[in-house]
Amino acid sequence: MSVASDARPGERGSGDGFFARLRGDFANSERRTGYTMVSPSLLLILVIGAWPVIYAIWLSFQRVIAQETSFAGLDNYATMFSDPRFHSAVINTSIFTVLSVALEFVLGVGIALAINRGFRGQGATRAIALIPWAFPTVVSAIMWRLMYQQTGGIMQYIAEKIQLVSGPILASEQATLFAAVFVDVWKTTPFVALLLLAGLQVIPGDVYEAARVDGANALQQFKSVTLPLLKPAIVVALLFRTLDAWRVFDLFWAMSDRTVESLSTYVFKGVRISQTEFSLGDAAAVFIFVTSLVIAAFFIRGLGSQSAGEG
């Protein structure tokens, strides 16, 4: 709830507009004090949050070479959108995001349901399940890279044995991309499961009992009770994971040893390694920022609106 919407109707300005409301708020001394008190934090948020974003957006319209900056209009974006490396970055990141989030969600739901049943050692299981998630991504990426290696890599061995691949995984960009999906699923499914578990645990048990008495079998209970009531948790989990996956960096960089491009590695190469493509990398960073906003809006509006009512 925003501060303003708590105002009693009589205290508001004549209109319903934001400024009218603000004016109304400022007419009230208690609220004025409130605004005064939060202003330092607001300022801080602006400085450390908003300013870098605005600066990055501004930079994306400049051409930056060494320390020289000149206005470039949309050139950086034009170059970026016609760059085949950017195309493969978008494609790879999209495939990675869709696959990893989908798998993590399905497995996460399954695990959450299993853990939610309650059994001896539930707490320990939960803690153990979180271990992969607690690893720094770079560490697990390198660890898995070793396991995917052609010489002595257990995953490579297994994949060959079950005829999933014919050549070395890491020598093929596609195979590496799927390998990265696998690692991400390994690493983040427990996190998704825990988020969903938290959601499951707030569903009152008697609703299930009501459904049982009403004649719902297990599947119908899941479809008609669990899923809809889990929706807020699902939205949060999907939103977190999708945004995380969309920004994937270290997993690609360290595990594929920079052969598979993601949006973030594209940014990194431009901004941190290249000396001539800073602006291009910056434009890509802005692209990630904007697309992330779109993704967030999609989840919050598209899926969130119906569930917002459930509170």
Partner 1 sequence: MPRRDFLKAAGAGVAGTALLGSTACDGFTPAVEGTSNSLVFSFGPDDSGVVQAVIDMFNKKMGGKITVEYREMPADTGQYFDKLRTEFQSGVVVNDVIGADVIWPAQLAANGWLEPLDELFTEEMQSDYISAPLDTGRYNDKIYSVPWYADAGMLYYRKDLLDKNGIKSPPKTWEELYDIGAKVAGAEGLGYGYVGQGAEYEGGVCNGCEFVWNGGGEIQDPKDLAKIVIDSPEAMAGLEAGQKVVSSGVAPVAFATFKELESLTVFLNQDAVFMRNWPFAYGGLADPALGTTFDPKKVYEQVLVTTLPVTEAGQENFACLGGWTFAINALSSKKEQAWEFIKFMITPEIRETFTIDRAAMPPERSFYEDKKLIKEQPLLEVAKDAIASTKPRPIHPYYSDMSLRMAESFNENIKSEISPQQAISTLQTQMQRIADTNVPNPNI
Partner 2 sequence: MAEIEFEKVTKSFGEGALAVDQLDLGIKDGEFMVLVGPSGCGKSTALRMVAGLEAISDGEIKIGGRVVNEVPPKDRDIAMVFQNYALYPHMTVYDNMAFALKLAKVDKGEMDKRVKEAAHVLGLDEFLGRKPRALSGGQRQRVAMGRAIVREPQAFLMDEPLSNLDAKLRVQMRSEIGRIQDDLEVTTIYVTHDQVEAMTMGDRVAVMRKGELQQVGTPTELFLTPVNLFTAGFIGSPSMNFLSSKLERSNGNYQIDVGGQKVTIHEKVTKDRPELEKYDGKEIIIGVRPQDFEDKSIMGDDAPEGSSVKAKVDLVEVLGTETLVHFELNAPMVMTEDMKELQADAGGQDPATVESRAEEGTNEFVAQLDPKSRIKRGEEVELFIDTRQLHFFDIDNSQGIYGGDGDRAAGNGNR
C-alpha angle with apex 96: 302 to 292, nearest 5 degrees? 40
What's the CA gap between 232 and 214, in Å, rounded? 24
Binding mask 211-250 for partner 2 (x = CB under 8 A): xxxxxxx--x---xx--xx-x-------------------
Of the candidates 241, 244, 251, which has an alpha carbon nearest to the alpha carbon of residue 193? 241
Q: Is the Cβ–Cβ distance between 22 and 5 less than 8 Å?
A: no
- Residue 130 in contact with residue 190, Cβ under 8 Å? yes
Structure-block tokens of residue 44: 């801080």
- Part of the chain binding partner 1 (CB under 8 A), chosen from 23-31, 137-145, 178-186, 300-308: 137-145
311 binds partner 2 (CB under 8 A): yes
Q: Does 277 participate in binding partner 1 (rule CB under 8 A)?
A: yes
Instruction: State in angstroms the smallest separation of the CB of 166 from partner 1.
Output: 9
Stretch that binds partner 1, among 21-29, 32-40, 66-74, 298-306 (CB under 8 A): 66-74
Binding mask 290-309 for partner 2 (x = CB under 8 A): -----------------x-x
Whether 248 and 101 have beta carbons less than 8 Å apart is answered as no
- Decide: is 310 part of the binding site for partner 2 (CB under 8 A): yes
Instruction: Answer whether 122's CB lies under 8 Å from 197's CB.
Output: no
| Sole binder of partner 1 in the list 56, 142, 198, 303 (CB under 8 A) | 142
Q: Is 158 helix (H, G, I), strand (E, B) or coil?
A: helix
Q: List phi, psi (to 5°) of 64.
A: -115, 115
Q: Is 276 in the site for partner 1 (CB under 8 A)?
A: yes
CA distance 233 to 248: 22
**Which residue of 185, 254, 263, 267 would you call a contact of partner 1, by CB under 8 A?**
254
Instruction: Show contacts with partner 2 in window 156-175 (CB under 8 A).
Output: none
Give residues in contact with partner 1 (CB under 8 A): 65-68, 85, 138-139, 142, 149-151, 167-168, 170-173, 254, 257-259, 269, 272-277
